[in-house]
């Protein structure tokens, strides 16, 4: 199938039929020739159906052309492209066609190829012709045999399956890049090839919807009730809490009537909330869980006794968060009171630990049972490790007595399975050191849970800790340790990007280590490039006067650009070039060198440049103080450049377009280019970090809203989704810069206009 979504594949196939002139071709005399009792046109129709055939790795698209036949082979990703090209060469290679296995470049001015080569979601396209002197009908028979082989020999697909670990890594990269089409495609592959069971697939679907702020969709899932009652990863619990609060309570909180909010909570959300709060883990990193706990503490004395002091401390420590604002409203309304000062002074990280362990008594069986139950109820890595350490202190006789009861034995095995027992890491440094341990088989699951629980301000609070982690990342050895680390790398990058202080200058050594690792990775897709963007932004914006860090970063970006050529990386490279124009230049000569290196990388692929690309590059080069005359192939104004691909944005009717990105300069550049292309569009830009009346107006009033969540603080994106009308169009840019923002609108325009 040519695209991951069957509906999109069907829509694309119809557009291709119309643009390729199939009606005229089928009316020609050639269409009446027969092949094994089937019309010639019928054979071509069967080949066209590969575009919607889930067993075929892409699509075989015939195109009538002046009495001859031209074909395109298109695939949605690199793996399927390799499979399709190998089979096509085997079935219809030199003996029937001129297909070489290479990707093709679009013909300037060709509307059919513009549709095909510019279609989002298509990774590679090849072009070939049937050799007339060798017979058209034998070649068509060979192509039909190739298609049939994928139906008759399922092993062809199974043998090429990617490992589950690789698919999960790519799923995380796609979430980080906010590439929803890729997220959905990988999830579909995980399901169709039975990589995961139904429950774990549901967990991934929750994380998918949460990443795009689709809280109501999570609450509407048929599995919602089941999800509340099962053991869940910490991240899923946090997402469910956000979904419950956002869909049932957030709008009532905004009305600033705390008593009414409590009534709504009791009536519409409490039953579900109590199931989530029965095992909340460490709620400090989840605004939804904190808010639900606050409302439950108003209504329930047990919850108040257990959580009151900690909630108060969190509100005092982080006064500007959405939870803290709710807490102050509850205080002002007299619905809750401040705890005694001596309780509120307890460090937040200690309040969640099983208090049973803090005893002077020798370890014993009754306490061990209670500790295991407490750790299971808490559901955190810290609790699991504390329980494992307590059990390890038991004598052999006491340990045998503890495990004599089947329910205790089952509970202990479950804790060990989820946490690794006494090897449970307490931070990323310990996690990295455990990668060489043969028994550390659940490294990825622990990385995910750690990322959901570990507080970055506590883990990396001082330069020695930052330096130690940066060095440990570079010291990961090849082999099993490197494979485990690579799988979890997008989780670590996302953890850094979710830092409230990101980009955080104190973490510069960690950013640099991870960027060096990614620069040396030869297998990079478009989603991995967005992880590079997260780190590059952190380094370039925070390098300050550190010329060495600045120069090394541009060298590594240049290496990545050189090894990631092609259409998929074009918007990313322009985003990076734009970032150098925005960030302080610690070494102007290095910036100029990177600029011209980028131009050299783009030039061979200049046929991919669209009107929006050229306009934006003109802006960026001017802001960098570079002369367009030094780039002659780009020097012509966009409209005058020969063979330039126009923009579908030009066809949009008068609309109100909203742009949200924390990179204000990127949003403004995108606005300028959009207005140059289509003066009928009304563009509004917002770069605020938290909710405001201006941001609410943008969310409510924009016909189309483009959001760059890879560079947006969580509070603001959550605020947008809460106030965005359900029927309104929201587009998520895959990257941080203006090029990615423009690409999101361009793809929307193509979809709506059929261009």
SS3 of 437-498: the string is CCCCCCHHHHHHHHHHHCCHHHHCCCHHHHHHHHHHHHCCCCCHHHHHHHHHHHHHHHHHHC
Asked whether residue 609 falls in the same domain as residue 726, the answer is no
CA distance 175 to 608: 26
* pLDDT, average across residues 154-171: 70
CA distance 2 to 258: 52
* Three-class secondary structure of residue 602 per DSSP: helix
Say if residue 347 is exposed, middle or buried (CB neighbours under 10 Å; 0-12, 13-18, 19+). Answer: exposed
- Residue 492: inside a domain, yes or no? no
- Structural contact between residues 386 and 357, judged by C-beta atoms closer than 8 angstroms: yes
* pLDDT, average across residues 249-256: 79
- Structural contact between residues 46 and 60, judged by C-beta atoms closer than 8 angstroms: no
* pLDDT, average across residues 396-422: 83
Handedness of CA 234, 240, 241, 243 (dihedral sign): positive
When computed from its CA atoms, the radius of gyration of the chain, rounded to whole angstroms, is: 29
Query: In 10 A of CB 725, how many CB atoms?
Result: 12
How much is the pTM?
Answer: 0.76
The average confidence (pLDDT) of the chain is 84
**What is the structure's pLDDT at 99?**
86
pLDDT, tens digit, for every residue of 10-40? 888 888 888 886 654 443 344 344 444 567 7
Domain limit, last residue, from 351, 383, 414: 351
**What is the structure's pLDDT at 634?**
80
CA distance 583 to 533: 13
Instruction: Write out the two tokens for 67.
Output: 């009495």
- Residue 442: inside a domain, yes or no? no
Instruction: Write out the two tokens for 387.
Output: 């329980």
Tell me which of 343 and 545 has the higher pLDDT: 545
Q: Closest by alpha carbon to 684, among 706, 710, 654? A: 706
* pLDDT, average across residues 233-248: 92
Residue 570's pLDDT band, with cuts at 50, 70 and 90, is confident
Checking phi first, is residue 45 left (phi over 0); if not, alpha (psi -120 to 50) or beta?
A: alpha
Residue showing tokens 């050594």: 509
Instruction: Write out the two tokens for 667.
Output: 């949003």
Asked whether residue 418 falls in the same domain as residue 277, the answer is no
Could you give the angle at which helices 365-378 and 381-392 cross, rounded to 10 degrees?
Answer: 170
- Cis status of the peptide bond prior to 101, with omega within 30 of 0: no
Instruction: Write out the two tokens for 588.
Output: 């102007």
Q: Closest by alpha carbon to 755, among 639, 645, 615? A: 645
Asked whether residue 271 falls in the same domain as residue 361, the answer is no
Of the spans 152-166, 329-343, 627-641, which averages the highest pLDDT?
329-343
Question: How many structural domains compose the chain?
Answer: 5
Tell me the C-alpha to C-alpha distance, in Å, between residue 544 and each of 46, 510, 577: 60, 16, 18
- Structural contact between residues 299 and 266, judged by C-beta atoms closer than 8 angstroms: yes
Residue showing tokens 């030009």: 650
Of the spans 72-86, 176-190, 635-649, which averages the highest pLDDT?
176-190
What is the pairing mode between strands 704-707 and 729-732? parallel
Asked whether residue 659 falls in the same domain as residue 642, the answer is no
- Residue 229: inside a domain, yes or no? yes
CATH number for the domain harbouring residue 707: 3.40.50.2300
Asked whether residue 307 falls in the same domain as residue 201, the answer is yes
Region of poorest pLDDT, from 25-39, 165-179, 227-241, 415-429:
25-39
Instruction: Write out the two tokens for 689.
Output: 């970090």
- Residue 490: inside a domain, yes or no? no
**What is the structure's pLDDT at 358?**
53
Asked whether residue 697 falls in the same domain as residue 595, the answer is no
- Residue 168: inside a domain, yes or no? no
CA distance 307 to 292: 11
CA distance 112 to 349: 61
**Residues paired with 359 in a beta bridge:** none
Asked whether residue 657 falls in the same domain as residue 560, the answer is no
pLDDT, tens digit, for every residue of 105-114? 788 778 888 8
Q: Closest by alpha carbon to 377, among 278, 300, 306, 232? A: 278
Domain limit, last residue, from 108, 127, 158: 158
- Residue 496: inside a domain, yes or no? no
- Residue 400: inside a domain, yes or no? yes
Asked whether residue 212 falls in the same domain as residue 347, the answer is yes
**What is the structure's pLDDT at 162?**
74
Asked whether residue 208 falls in the same domain as residue 346, the answer is yes
Query: In 10 A of CB 46, how many CB atoms?
Result: 18
**Residues paired with 331 in a beta bridge:** none
CA distance 570 to 527: 13
Q: Closest by alpha carbon to 702, among 674, 681, 719? A: 681
**What is the structure's pLDDT at 129?**
86
Query: In 10 A of CB 332, how many CB atoms?
Result: 10
**pLDDT > 90 in the chain, percent:** 35
Asked whether residue 123 falls in the same domain as residue 243, the answer is no
**What is the structure's pLDDT at 359?**
52
- Structural contact between residues 110 and 145, judged by C-beta atoms closer than 8 angstroms: no
Domain limit, last residue, from 383, 401, 423: 423
**What is the structure's pLDDT at 197?**
87
According to DSSP, residue 504 is labeled -
- Structural contact between residues 435 and 429, judged by C-beta atoms closer than 8 angstroms: no
Region of poorest pLDDT, from 41-45, 465-469, 595-599, 750-754:
750-754
**What is the structure's pLDDT at 26?**
44
What is the pairing mode between strands 704-707 and 682-686? unpaired
**What is the structure's pLDDT at 378?**
78
Asked whether residue 615 falls in the same domain as residue 633, the answer is yes
Asked whether residue 207 falls in the same domain as residue 332, the answer is yes
pLDDT above 90: residue 632: no
Q: Closest by alpha carbon to 724, among 735, 709, 739, 736? A: 709
Backbone angles phi, psi at 498, to 5 degrees: -85, 0
pLDDT, tens digit, for every residue of 77-100? 777 887 888 888 888 877 788 888
CA distance 628 to 213: 41
CA distance 300 to 295: 9
Residue 742: partners with Cβ closer than 8 Å, 6 or more residues away: 612, 616, 649, 670, 673, 674
Could you give the angle at which helices 78-92 and 136-152 cross, rounded to 10 degrees?
Answer: 130
Query: In 10 A of CB 326, how many CB atoms?
Result: 21
Q: Closest by alpha carbon to 39, among 20, 54, 22, 59? A: 22
Instruction: Write out the two tokens for 26.
Output: 């089928």
- Residue 746: inside a domain, yes or no? yes
Query: In 10 A of CB 559, how many CB atoms?
Result: 14
Handedness of CA 745, 749, 751, 755 (dihedral sign): negative
* Three-class secondary structure of residue 472 per DSSP: helix
* pLDDT, average across residues 270-290: 88
- Structural contact between residues 248 and 264, judged by C-beta atoms closer than 8 angstroms: yes
Of the spans 85-94, 375-384, 461-470, 688-697, which averages the highest pLDDT?
461-470
Residue 344's pLDDT band, with cuts at 50, 70 and 90, is very low
Task: State the residue range of the domain holding 274.
Answer: 197-351
Residue 67's pLDDT band, with cuts at 50, 70 and 90, is low
Query: In 10 A of CB 23, how many CB atoms?
Result: 9
């Amino acid at each position: 199938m040519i695209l991951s979504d069957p509906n999109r594949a069907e829509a694309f196939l119809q557009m291709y039929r119309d643009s390729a002139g199939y009606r005229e071709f089928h009316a020609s005399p050639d269409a009446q020739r027969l092949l094994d009792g089937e019309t010639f046109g019928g054979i071509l129709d069967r080949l066209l159906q590969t575009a919607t055939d889930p067993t075929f790795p892409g699509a075989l698209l015939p195109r009538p052309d002046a009495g001859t036949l031209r074909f395109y082979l298109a695939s949605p990703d690199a793996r399927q492209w390799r499979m399709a090209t190998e089979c096509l060469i085997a079935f219809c290679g030199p003996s029937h066609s001129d297909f070489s296995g290479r990707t093709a470049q679009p013909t300037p001015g060709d509307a059919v190829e513009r549709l095909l080569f510019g279609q989002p979601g298509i990774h590679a396209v090849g072009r070939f012709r049937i050799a007339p002197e060798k017979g058209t009908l034998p070649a068509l028979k060979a192509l039909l045999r190739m298609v049939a082989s994928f139906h008759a020999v399922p092993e062809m697909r199974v043998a090429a399956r990617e490992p589950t670990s690789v698919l999960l890594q790519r799923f995380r990269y796609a979430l980080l890049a906010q590439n929803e089409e890729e997220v959905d495609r990988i999830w579909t592959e995980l399901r169709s090839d039975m990589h995961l069971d139904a429950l774990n697939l549901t967990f991934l679907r929750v994380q998918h919807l949460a990443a795009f702020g689709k809280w109501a969709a999570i609450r509407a899932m048929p599995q919602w009730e089941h999800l509340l009652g099962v053991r869940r990863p910490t991240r899923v619990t946090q997402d469910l809490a956000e979904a419950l609060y956002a869909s049932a309570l957030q709008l009532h909180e905004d009305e600033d009537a705390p008593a009414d909010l409590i009534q709504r909570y009791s009536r519409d959300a409490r039953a579900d909330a109590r199931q989530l709060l029965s095992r909340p883990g460490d709620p400090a990193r989840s605004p939804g869980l904190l808010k639900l706990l606050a409302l439950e503490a108003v209504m329930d004395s047990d919850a108040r006794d257990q959580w009151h002091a900690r909630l108060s401390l969190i509100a005092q420590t982080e006064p500007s968060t959405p939870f803290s604002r709710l807490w102050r409203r509850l205080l002002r309304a007299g619905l809750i009171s401040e705890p005694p000062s001596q309780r509120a002074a307890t460090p937040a990280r200690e309040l969640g630990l099983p208090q049973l362990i803090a005893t002077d008594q020798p370890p014993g069986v009754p306490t061990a049972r209670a500790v295991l139950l407490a750790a299971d109820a808490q559901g955190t890595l810290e609790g699991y490790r504390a329980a494992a350490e307590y059990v390890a202190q038991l004598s052999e006789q006491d340990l045998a007595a503890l495990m004599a009861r089947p329910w205790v034995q089952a509970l202990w095995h479950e804790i060990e399975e989820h946490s690794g027992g006494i090897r449970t890491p307490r931070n990323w440094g310990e996690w990295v050191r455990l990668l060489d341990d043969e028994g550390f088989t659940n490294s990825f699951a622990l990385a995910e849970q750690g990322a959901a629980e570990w507080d970055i301000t506590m883990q990396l609070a001082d330069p020695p800790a930052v330096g130690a982690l940066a060095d440990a990342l570079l010291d990961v050895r090849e082999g099993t340790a490197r494979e485990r680390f690579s799988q979890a790398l997008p989780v670590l990058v996302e953890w850094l990007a979710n830092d409230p202080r990101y980009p955080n200058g104190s973490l510069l050594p960690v950013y640099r280590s991870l960027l060096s690792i990614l620069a040396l990775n030869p297998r990079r897709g478009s989603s991995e490039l967005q992880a590079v963007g997260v780190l590059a932004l952190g380094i370039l914006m925070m390098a300050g006067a550190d010329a060495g860090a600045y120069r090394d970063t541009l060298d590594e970006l240049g290496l990545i650009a050189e090894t990631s050529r092609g259409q998929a990386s074009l918007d990313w490279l322009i985003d990076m070039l734009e970032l150098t124009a925005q960030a302080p230049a610690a070494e102007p000569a290095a910036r100029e060198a990177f600029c011209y290196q980028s131009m050299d990388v783009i030039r061979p692929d200049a046929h991919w440049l669209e009107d929006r690309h050229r306009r934006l590059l003109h802006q960026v080069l001017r802001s960098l103080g570079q002369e367009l005359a030094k780039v002659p192939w780009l020097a012509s104004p966009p409209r005058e450049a020969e063979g330039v691909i126009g923009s579908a944005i030009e066809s949009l009717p008068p609309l109100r377009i909203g742009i949200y990105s924390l990179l204000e300069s990127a949003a403004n550049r995108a606005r300028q280019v959009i207005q140059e292309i289509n003066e009928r569009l009304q563009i509004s830009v917002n770069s605020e970090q938290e909710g405001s009346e201006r941001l609410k107006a943008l969310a409510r009033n924009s016909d189309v809203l483009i959001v760059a969540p890879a560079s947006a603080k969580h509070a603001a994106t959550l605020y947008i989704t809460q106030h965005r009308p359900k029927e309104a169009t929201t587009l998520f840019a895959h990257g941080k810069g203006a090029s990615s923002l423009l690409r999101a609108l361009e793809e929307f325009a193509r979809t709506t206009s059929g261009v």
